[in-house]
Each structure stands twice: as C-alpha cells, then as structure tokens.
C-alpha cells in the first residue's frame, strides 16, 4: 500500500514580519541570546539582526505615538543609555505571537512564562524598563522595520 503524504497547508499571504528590539536593559543584562532563543524556540525565523546605537531622531520617529506622554523623555533617555539589538522575525501571525511571548508592558503584572514576566521587574524608574519592544500591528511593523532597517528598501 502506498503511503499518503499530507502536507500542512501554508498560506504565504499570512506570513508576517515584526520588529523586535532588545532594549538597553536586556543588552546590559546579557539577555540577547535568551530573547532570540525564545523567538526561535517558538518557531519564528530571525531574518534580520543588528546591534546598534540609534540616534535620538530614530527613537523619536519610533516612539512618535508617545510624544505627549509624561514618560516620553525618560523613555528616549533610557533607549539612548546603551546599545540595543534590532531583530526582524518572520512567521505566520508573528506580530501577535511575539506580543504574547513578550507579555504585558508592566513587568510586575506580566505573566510568568513571558519575557517580561520572567526577566524584568519594576526598577522604580520614571519609565518602565521591560527588556523588549515588539510591533503591535501590521502597520506598525512595516513602519518600524523601515525605521530600523532602512537599508532593506
């Protein structure tokens, strides 16, 4: 009898890319590998990766939605406090998937099992330090990948 091979359906239209940043606290604490490992273990592909020290202009563009928030200036100062690692991860529903892996913004209440829940805590600073950034929508992902990887255009 001939074995029947069934391939799992793959829908190329659903493959997404997201921008992940390992923030300065993550780099300082040597958690780059831990973050990448969680992304890869979940099954997403790392298709872009670089360590960098972004300018204030780049960060202002990236965080423009927060310009009027009280934590905006501390946020920029924090993001300028050391190198970061910018990553493009790819896979079906990776935008939503990475947000789940990252956990809630506030590391105190982020679920254990998530990057923020396991690896970060309240440091008593004006801005929340939570190891990673992940794009929150298709539109943000496209916009943010262009900001951090302009050479891909």
Tell me how far, at minimum, the Cβ of 16 lies from ligand DAT, in Å. Answer: 17
Residue 31 is a binding residue for ligand DAT (CB under 6 A): no
Nearer to ligand DAT, 88 or 102 (CB): 102
Phi and psi torsions of 16, nearest 5°: -120, 165
Mark whether 62 is an active-site residue.
no
- For the beta sheet containing 45-52, the strands, ordered from the edge strand earlier in sequence to the opposite edge, are 45-52, 84-92, 15-22, 132-134
Site for ligand DAT in 49-68 (CB under 6 A): 66
46, 39 in Cβ contact below 8 A?
Answer: yes
> Which span (13-21, 37-45, 83-91, 126-134) binds ligand DAT, by CB under 6 A?
126-134
Tell me how far, at minimum, the Cβ of 1 lies from ligand DAT, in Å. Answer: 53
For 47, what's the count of Cα atoms within 13 Å in the CB-facing half-sphere? 16
Active-site residues, by number, are 133
């Amino acid at each position: 009898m001939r074995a029947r091979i069934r391939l799992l359906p793959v829908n190329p239209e659903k493959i997404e890319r997201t921008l992940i940043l390992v923030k300065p606290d993550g780099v300082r604490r040597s958690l780059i590998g831990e973050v990448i490992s969680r992304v890869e273990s979940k099954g997403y592909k790392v298709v872009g990766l670089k360590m960098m020290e972004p300018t204030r202009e780049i960060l202002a563009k990236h965080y423009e939605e927060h310009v009027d928030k009280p934590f905006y200036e501390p946020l920029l100062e924090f993001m300028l406090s050391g190198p970061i690692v910018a990553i493009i991860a790819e896979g079906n529903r990776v935008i939503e998937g990475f947000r789940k892996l990252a956990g809630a913004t506030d590391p105190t209440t982020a679920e254990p099992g998530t990057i923020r829940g396991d690896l970060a805590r309240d440091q008593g600073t004006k801005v929340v330090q939570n190891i990673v950034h992940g794009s929150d929508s298709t539109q943000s992902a496209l916009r943010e990948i262009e900001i951090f990887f302009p050479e891909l255009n």
